[in-house]
A and B are shown apart, each in its own frame.
Chain A
């Protein structure tokens, strides 16, 4: 019994840490630019496939770098793609939320189809960063990869927190998310701040892609679940709030773990969706959010 509760607590924490990674980038982009980036799941997918290409010789024969270096590649792929998406597309259309909505979603669909062209539609296995598992001695079943994901997630969140609150460069992002006008008046270069936000969000997405790709699956349809999760978490936490996203990520992570433990994996997402609908109806601004202002 104690072991079961312990396993539940640990498994929940591990999956929640990855959910936090997914949601933070999504919420930052909304907080700073007011844009809901529906291609976020696509960036996560790019990270996973980027990792696949460089670490496994199955795609490019002579290319099989160590998984740790592959992680760096995945982060870079996510960051560059995200940055490119902003300066190549979103920058020109962000004045119209409806068009931005649709365009980013269409980008996600294009990425998914391209993934089918390049890697076929069947799921692929990623090289495990940290094979094996530990914790058996105390009655817990945790894979080493989950531990790595947990630690990496908190390191990433810590670095982000340091950057945003302790450096001038990062503070300009924080300021913009509070008041675009105010930030502009104090001399913040808005386009560069937005581009930086997309870069960071893409990096986090690429990182999350490797963990999701290894723990769940790497396939051309893998963009949808993370996107739905990002939605759910961000709305529950409050759109634009990083703190809210972390709290909500753990809430949803534990809820899903509980659902899977009690009802089986077929109902994994259903309860999160129901919770989302309830939160939207009762407190649409979320736990830590501001009311969405239509400009």
Chain B
């Protein structure tokens, strides 16, 4: 026996311990899959340490940004990836939350604390989500996508039409996050704190969405994607569940929007509401692997790191050409997503008691 199988064996026992306790909640894992998850988690949590050792301070900013986009990509996934109703207008939800924060700060009271503006903004995303979902979810196939696309265009136009409130093209200042937690002052002026303020919500949302996805609700959403008539015939109100999936999606979208607004310190239509932003969210989810929750996280980190750190060699505009080309290639040659592929390779390697969850 080589040492390889021994480490594999001890990994299996740790993974089994996890499976016994949490497997029924979040899905079963095998050794290598468990190692990948824990490894990624350690790398993410320790990012301030290794980026400063590498002398790559800018990378921490990129990872913080990637955490926010991971929230958005996961949120899109629980709605579009799971139900198969592809939304082209999700940036409206995050943008709506971001703009709510901005308008509260600009027009109500500039000193409103984050702990007041954030919940209101997330609630705004939820309301916008319902406004879009309730009429559009009666439609099927491409029609649903068309309406969400149109919703994106309408909101984009509205920011210009009501530029007195929204600041029009220039947008509006939001400022950084500052609040007290257990007596300690938390401020995102500090890069390390900022990173954790973005990372922790991402991890919490990931766990919550994984739980939902493995629950009966998640099963019904997948069933709707596979065969909606059959689900309806079983006496389940599919519209209700589709609206639920939109609500489930709106809340993290709102959280992501608020974080993004504070990350940039300002909001504007270009960074928040342009059609490209919705497509970016979709691209991340698809590159990682739709309907898997964890896939979109990987997709978001891959896309943001490529965009911010790697593809810059092609120039300011060239990096977008390169990025969209990469996305196109993944769409054509790896439809199920890169991280899902990796996941299944690991699953096949460490198949001891079958950690397969697809």
B297 to chain A, nearest CB (A): 19
Instruction: Note all chain B residues with C-beta closer than 8 A to A266.
Output: 160-161
Whether A101 lies near B142 (C-beta < 8 A) is yes
Q: Answer yes or no: A103 CB below 8 A from chain B CBs.
A: yes
Whether A97 lies near B153 (C-beta < 8 A) is no
A173 to chain B, nearest CB (A): 21
Contact among A93, A107, A228 for B150, CB-based, below 8 A: A228
Surface stretch bound by A, among B107-115, B261-269, B276-284: B276-284
Whether A110 lies near B328 (C-beta < 8 A) is yes
Whether B317 lies near A117 (C-beta < 8 A) is yes
If A110-B325, A266-B160, A284-B139 touch, does A273 touch B317 (CB 8 Å cutoff)? no
Considering only residues 277-294 of chain B, those with a C-beta below 8 Å from chain A are 279, 282-283, 286
Instruction: Note all chain A residues with C-beta closer than 8 A to B146.
Output: 231, 235, 276, 280
Q: Answer yes or no: A154 CB below 8 A from chain B CBs.
A: no
Instruction: Note all chain A residues with C-beta closer than 8 A to B328.
Output: 89, 103, 106-107, 110
- Using CB atoms, name the residue of chain B closest to A276: B150
Q: Answer yes or no: A185 CB below 8 A from chain B CBs.
A: no
Q: Answer yes or no: A270 CB below 8 A from chain B CBs.
A: yes
If A93-B332, A110-B325, A294-B141 touch, does A117 touch B283 (CB 8 Å cutoff)? no
Instruction: Note all chain B residues with C-beta closer than 8 A to A103.
Output: 328, 331-332
Contact among B86, B141, B283, B315 for A106, CB-based, below 8 A: B283
- Using CB atoms, name the residue of chain A closest to B275: A224
If A103-B332, A231-B149 touch, does A270 touch B317 (CB 8 Å cutoff)? no
- Using CB atoms, name the residue of chain B closest to A120: B317
Tell me whether chain A's interface is mostly helix, strand or loop, or mixed: helix
Whether B332 lies near A273 (C-beta < 8 A) is no
- Bitwise, B137-149 to A at CB < 8 A (1) or not (0) is 0111111011101
Instruction: Note all chain B residues with C-beta closer than 8 A to A292.
Output: 140-143
Q: Provide the bound-state CA to CA distance between A228 and B142, in Å.
A: 14
Considering only residues 258-285 of chain A, those with a C-beta below 8 Å from chain B are 266-267, 269-270, 273-274, 276-277, 280-281, 284
Q: Provide the bound-state CA to CA distance between A5 and B324, in Å.
A: 47
Q: How many B residues have CB within 8 A of the partner chain?
A: 39
Q: Provide the bound-state CA to CA distance between A36 and B88, in Å.
A: 14
- Using CB atoms, name the residue of chain B closest to A266: B161
A216 to chain B, nearest CB (A): 16
Q: Answer yes or no: B154 CB below 8 A from chain A CBs.
A: yes
Q: Provide the bound-state CA to CA distance between A284 and B138, in Å.
A: 10
Q: Answer yes or no: B135 CB below 8 A from chain A CBs.
A: yes
Q: Answer yes or no: A99 CB below 8 A from chain B CBs.
A: yes
If A99-B335, A224-B275 touch, does A277 touch B147 (CB 8 Å cutoff)? yes
- Using CB atoms, name the residue of chain B closest to A115: B317
Instruction: Note all chain A residues with C-beta closer than 8 A to B138.
Output: 281
Considering only residues 290-343 of chain B, those with a C-beta below 8 Å from chain A are 315, 317-318, 320-321, 324-325, 327-328, 331-332, 335
Whether B320 lies near A113 (C-beta < 8 A) is yes
Whether A113 lies near B321 (C-beta < 8 A) is yes
Q: Provide the bound-state CA to CA distance between A280 and B328, in Å.
A: 30
- Using CB atoms, name the residue of chain A closest to B145: A101
Q: How many A residues have CB within 8 A of the partner chain?
A: 39
Contact among A96, A101, A109, A235 for B335, CB-based, below 8 A: A96
Contact among A99, A110, A231 for B321, CB-based, below 8 A: A110
Q: Answer yes or no: A160 CB below 8 A from chain B CBs.
A: no
Instruction: Note all chain B residues with C-beta closer than 8 A to A113.
Output: 317-318, 320-321, 324
Contact among A89, A109, A239, A294 for B279, CB-based, below 8 A: A109
A274 to chain B, nearest CB (A): 8
Instruction: Note all chain B residues with C-beta closer than 8 A to A277.
Output: 135, 147, 150
- Using CB atoms, name the residue of chain B closest to A272: B150
Instruction: Note all chain B residues with C-beta closer than 8 A to A96.
Output: 335
Whether B325 lies near A269 (C-beta < 8 A) is no
Considering only residues 141-186 of chain B, those with a C-beta below 8 Å from chain A are 141-143, 145-147, 149-150, 153-154, 157, 160-161
Whether B145 lies near A109 (C-beta < 8 A) is no
- Bitwise, A100-130 to B at CB < 8 A (1) or not (0) is 0111011101100110110000000000000
Instruction: Note all chain A residues with C-beta closer than 8 A to B84.
Output: 98
A97 to chain B, nearest CB (A): 7
Q: Provide the bound-state CA to CA distance between A96 and B86, in Å.
A: 13
Whether B160 lies near A280 (C-beta < 8 A) is no
Whether B331 lies near A106 (C-beta < 8 A) is yes
Contact among A107, A224, A267, A294 for B140, CB-based, below 8 A: A294
Instruction: Note all chain A residues with C-beta closer than 8 A to B160.
Output: 266
Q: Answer yes or no: A62 CB below 8 A from chain B CBs.
A: no
Instruction: Note all chain A residues with C-beta closer than 8 A to B157.
Output: 269-270, 273
- Bitwise, A231-268 to B at CB < 8 A (1) or not (0) is 11001000100000000000000000000000000110
If A109-B276, A117-B317 touch, does A102 touch B331 (CB 8 Å cutoff)? yes
Q: Provide the bound-state CA to CA distance between A117 and B324, in Å.
A: 14
Leading 6 A-B pairs by shortest Cβ distance: A113-B320, A113-B321, A110-B324, A116-B317, A106-B328, A103-B331
23 pairs from A and B in contact (CB 8 Å cutoff)? A97-B141, A99-B332, A102-B86, A102-B279, A102-B286, A103-B331, A109-B279, A109-B324, A110-B321, A113-B317, A224-B153, A224-B275, A228-B150, A228-B153, A239-B142, A273-B150, A276-B146, A277-B150, A280-B139, A280-B143, A281-B135, A292-B140, A292-B143
Residues of chain B whose beta carbon lies under 8 Å from any beta carbon of chain A: 84, 86, 88, 135-136, 138-143, 145-147, 149-150, 153-154, 157, 160-161, 275-276, 279, 282-283, 286, 315, 317-318, 320-321, 324-325, 327-328, 331-332, 335
Besides the known contacts A99-B332, A228-B153, 12 further A-B residue pairs in the complex with CB atoms under 8 A apart: A36-B142, A98-B86, A99-B335, A102-B86, A106-B279, A110-B321, A113-B324, A239-B142, A270-B161, A273-B154, A280-B147, A292-B143
